[in-house]
Structure 1
Amino acid sequence: MADLATSVNKDSDPRSARSEGTRGPRVLIYSHDTFGLGHLRRSRAIANAIVGDRPDASVVIISGSPVIGNFEFGSGVDYIRIPGVTKLPDGDYRSLNLNVSIDEAVGLRQALIMQTAKAFQPDVFIVDKEPTGFRGEVMPALDYLQASGCHLVLGIRDVMDEPALLVPEWERKGAKEALRYYDEIWVYGLKDVYQPLKAFDLPASVKKRITYTGYLRREVPPTPSLTKYPKITKQPFILVTTGGGGDGDDLVDWVISAYEADPTLEQPALIVFGPFIDRDQRRAFVERIAQQPKLDAIA
């Protein structure tokens, strides 16, 4: 991954920062998390890698994910939970929990992002995927941090929407113009596999700031005891997972319907719902699954 030494003090002793009150490098990560788990998992992997390499570092993740508290972070990593927003089936958004308009929710999120930037004074600010943030909510913080000398980084996954969708979307959001803020653009993938920004007519000054980091390393959790899993996992089975689960209803319904229609299917299946599936929908699925001896689920 790109070297953080351009914006942090390499001479600080990682062992002394906490005990002596000295200032180690500070990294602020913005993860809008309006849908799914991908943004949060990516930000967590980066944060844990930073403190793993620099024990004196402090990393704060700004996230709108309602499940961020369920994740473990390395020593030196903490998070600030901003009010959540959620994506509707028609592509629009609404406030997740607060009884406020989406504009009010974005205004509150924007203010909290800005106040965090001012209070934390990061050496590096990493923005995940959206150059302007959700509905432009990081723009004031970008202006402030750029003026203060903070090293600004945009991190994007290697495969995004197809160019026919991505280019007009970025034009509408002003995302392409916002690239001028960033000192570096990290693409979490390999250049030989895919170049997500190739469709844009980027000037040479922007292209030279793009670094292909390779794929992010993910931790492999310890293998738990099989006794914690349903009995069907003790034989060959089909695993059905929808990731976060927010848009996985159709897949789960299709799988259950297959077993309902054909009881002779040989392989049992285990369905993992994900944390964002609608509660009522999950309850209905569980009731149907209970009627099928070759199906089980993990909520």
Structure 2
Amino acid sequence: MKERQRNPRVLMYSHDTFGLGHLRRCRAIAHALVQDHRGMMVLIISGSQIAGAFDYRSRVDFVKIPSVIKLRNGEYTSLSEHIDLRDTIEMRRSIIRHTAESFRPDIFIVDKEPMGLRGEIEDTLAYLKTQGTTLVLGLRDVMDAPHLLQAEWARNDVMTKIDRLFDHVWVYGPPDFYDPLTGLDVPPGLRARMDFTGFLQRSANADLGSENRPDGDYILVTTGGGGDGADLVNCVISAYEQDAGLTDRALIVLGPYMSSEMRAEFRQRGARQPLLEVIDFDMRMEELIEGARAVVGMGGYNTYCEILSFDKPALIVPRTEPREEQLLRATRAAELGMIRMLLPEEATNPVTMAAALKALPRMARPSEGWADLRMEGLQTISSLVGEYLHGKSESESVALKQAAT
């Protein structure tokens, strides 16, 4: 009983093989939890190469596991060419298990990958379940096309494992936007344990700010991590190169995972256009989006939440392979009148892209398109965590009284 009187502990897992979305989502949740729950400690397990470049609030920390890169064809490879992928996964698995045993979390939140990369957290989940840890799976509003997700999960019987291991499933979106498990055979008991939290609101820190934020009006072009963002950047620069009628300034953020060769090429082309400014990356993207007149992006979850949080007109050019997540999210948002979508093959036409960029600043804001837009996700998660911890305390009090009698 003394052990449970310590400050509550939350462990989070973010596999982080491609882009920054998973880590940034975990970080936003962690910051909200320590803000709302006195004395709580949150530890994030992350495979991100740049996890240490972000700032973290007091009582939030991270454990870095060896990085694995997801290639554009969907395959994985070790960051270090001298280490076999199987050896890297085994190292990650060992660090994750040891961290869980040492940290002894009250709650374990798994981001997106139910069993982790190549099943690396499955034994940790089984261990923590025996320790009474509350196990939570957090899913994006959109995971992938149902037939692709079904095939991926069926190979390793993932749905059965989710049903057996996880106490709760959170969906980081509202139920009337999209159901990430639509079209899948979901056990009724698992459905009953699902909570739609709403979108995760982001906020800017006026005290910190961004040194890259331009003075005056600008359109922000962001590719997230940038690993698959070269096509979008090329489309935007090409539009400016071929249409002198574009008069809005644009700040293009390439992303830390874009290849050095592509970054060099885009910086050179951008330097020849007086209305364009091209930078590699900024850790304070919230401040850049807050200051922008409008946003051009690919429609990943975090960029989408930032667009909604700051209510910015947005043009989305989604990635369509190997996953259809961004395409499904952008299609639904466009149906609701929240954003405008161009398919990648449409955006490659400089005339089409230039016309969309000209119209962008005068487009409706997301809240004008969907009157039911809500951004209560972080508050909902904080309340759910409070309920779980309260339930643990009550059950342990009953156990203590029973032991005493």
* Interval of TM-score (by shorter of Structure 1 and Structure 2): 0.7 to 0.9
> Can you give the 5+ residue segments of structure 1 that lack an aligned partner in the other structure?
1-7, 13-22
Provide the rounded CA distance (Å) in 2 between the counterparts of 1:289 and 1:81. 35
Q: Which amino acid aligns with 2:101?
A: K
Provide the rounded CA distance (Å) in 2 between the counterparts of 1:121 and 1:225. 36
Give the secondary-structure state (helix, strand or coil) at the position aligned to 2:233: helix
Provide the rounded CA distance (Å) in 2 between the counterparts of 1:298 and 1:78. 28
Give the secondary-structure state (helix, strand or coil) at the position aligned to 2:155: helix
Residue 71 in structure 1 maps to residue 54 in structure 2: yes
Q: Which amino acid aligns with 2:251?
A: L
Residue 47 in structure 1 maps to residue 30 in structure 2: yes
Matched residue, 1:35: 18
Matched residue, 1:252: 233
Provide the rounded CA distance (Å) in 1 between the counterparts of 2:188 and 2:90. 35
Provide the rounded CA distance (Å) in 2 between the counterparts of 1:272 and 1:227. 13
Would the alpha carbon gap of residues 116 and 226 (structure 1) be closer, same or farther in structure 2, given more than 3 Å must change?
closer
Contact 2:237 2:269 in 1 (8 A): yes
In the alignment of these two chains, the number of paired residues is 277
Cα deviation code 1:91-146 (max 9, x no counterpart): 21111236212111111111110110111111111111111101100011011111
Would the alpha carbon gap of residues 226 and 204 (structure 1) be closer, same or farther in structure 2, given more than 3 Å must change?
closer
Matched residue, 1:127: 110
> Can you give the 5+ residue segments of structure 2 that lack an aligned partner in the other structure?
281-405
Residue 269 in structure 1 maps to residue 244 in structure 2: no
Provide the rounded CA distance (Å) in 1 between the counterparts of 2:211 and 2:134. 48
Q: Which amino acid aligns with 2:248?
A: Q
Structure richer in helix, relative to its length: 2
Residue 283 in structure 1 maps to residue 270 in structure 2: no
- Which residue of the other structure, out of 220, 241, 264, is the alignment partner of 1:239? 220
Q: TM-score with structure 2 length normalisation?
A: 0.65
Contact 1:27 1:60 in 2 (8 A): yes
Would the alpha carbon gap of residues 262 and 243 (structure 1) be closer, same or farther in structure 2, given more than 3 Å must change?
same
Matched residue, 2:403: none
Would the alpha carbon gap of residues 161 and 289 (structure 1) be closer, same or farther in structure 2, given more than 3 Å must change?
same
Q: TM-score with structure 1 length normalisation?
A: 0.86
Cα deviation code 1:232-272 (max 9, x no counterpart): x52x4432111111110011112222222334433332211
Matched residue, 2:182: 198
Matched residue, 2:278: 297
Would the alpha carbon gap of residues 206 and 229 (structure 1) be closer, same or farther in structure 2, given more than 3 Å must change?
closer
Residue 25 in structure 1 maps to residue 4 in structure 2: no
Cα deviation code 1:41-87 (max 9, x no counterpart): 11111111221122211111000011211222221111000011111
Identity across matched positions, percent: 49
Q: Which amino acid aligns with 2:94?
A: A
Quote how far apart the aligned CAs of 1:228 are: 4.9
Quote how far apart the aligned CAs of 1:225 are: 7.3
Provide the rounded CA distance (Å) in 1 between the counterparts of 2:81 and 2:103. 26
Contact 1:130 1:175 in 2 (8 A): no
Provide the rounded CA distance (Å) in 2 between the counterparts of 1:157 and 1:220. 22
Provide the rounded CA distance (Å) in 2 between the counterparts of 1:117 and 1:294. 50
Matched residue, 2:199: 215
Q: Which amino acid aligns with 1:200?
A: L
Would the alpha carbon gap of residues 226 and 124 (structure 1) be closer, same or farther in structure 2, given more than 3 Å must change?
closer
Contact 1:132 1:173 in 2 (8 A): no
Q: Which amino acid aligns with 2:256?
A: P
Would the alpha carbon gap of residues 25 and 250 (structure 1) be closer, same or farther in structure 2, given more than 3 Å must change?
same
RMSD of equivalent CA atoms: 2.0
